[in-house]
Amino acid sequence: MTKLSVNINKIALIRNSRGANYPDLVKVALDCEEFGAQGITVHPRPDERHVKYADIPVLKEVVTTEFNIEGYPSEDFLEMVIKNKPHQCTLVPDLPGALTSDNGWDTITHAVFLKDVVRRLQDAGIRVSLFIDSVADRLYAAKETGAERIEFYTGPYAHDFGTDKAKAIAPFSEAAAICQKLDLGINAGHDLNLDNLKYFKQHVPGLLEVSIGHAVVCDALYYGLKNTIQMYLHQLD
């Protein structure tokens, strides 16, 4: 079964826009779990425009499903992650001012750096996933870092899905076969939604987890949060 991890960054963005605890980020996380989500994802950025570093220990205390923290492995970020010990840390190559995560690691160029970071997190008992493009040589290099999983950056798939879905999915199906050969666990995220999620799931063997935030929040405006989560779970069934 492919797990649904709900990224609650956009909930935090709404909260931060008014300077008060409304909506209550913790309550939303707990509600997502109650409504069926099998994980909660957060991506605290350096400017804290979404989830704040202060939110992390509070969420860690109450989240009972898989807790996944995403981010660029700066020293401050790594210290925070190791202190709070989520189940999984997803490393992304975002620059500090990035609007959103829009590319995966060059695991060849950054091999030494990533090996050190992966080892440090694993020594703290944290599973590591690398945000990555569906490029064969980078997957082989990802395995060499010691990371247990990769998370496919699915932006290109979502962009091309409406034009030619078979062509859009092909690189990910091929990359998934490589991951299975390498015994790399497969996660995926970015612009997955109710239109394209089921097709992705059907054509990416071994898909363990998807992390979805923006689309879930947008759909919840129309369908409500509980119904939306159930709709996404249905696409993964």
Any catalytic annotation for residue 144? no
Is residue 60 classed exposed, middle or buried when 0-12, 13-18 and 19+ CB atoms within 10 A define those classes?
Answer: middle
Any catalytic annotation for residue 190? yes
Catalytic one among 43, 50, 66, 151? 43
Residue linked to tokens 């989500």: 37
Nearest to residue 99, comparing CAs of 143, 54, 53, 49?
A: 49
The token pair that represents 37 in the structure block: 């989500």
Q: For the residues of 83-138, what is the DSSP string, one character each?
A: HH--SEEEE----TT-SS--S---TTTTHHHHHHHHHHHHHTT-EEEEEE-S-HHH
Listed in sequence order, the DSSP H helices in the chain are 9-18, 25-34, 55-62, 75-84, 111-123, 136-145, 155-161, 165-182, 197-203, 214-223, 225-236
Residue linked to tokens 């695991």: 107
CA-to-CA dists, residue 187 to 111, 151, 223, angstroms: 20, 4, 26
Catalytic one among 66, 151, 190, 209? 190
Any catalytic annotation for residue 174? no
Catalytic one among 33, 50, 66, 70? 70
Number of residues that this document lists for the chain:
237
Which positions are catalytic?
43, 70, 190
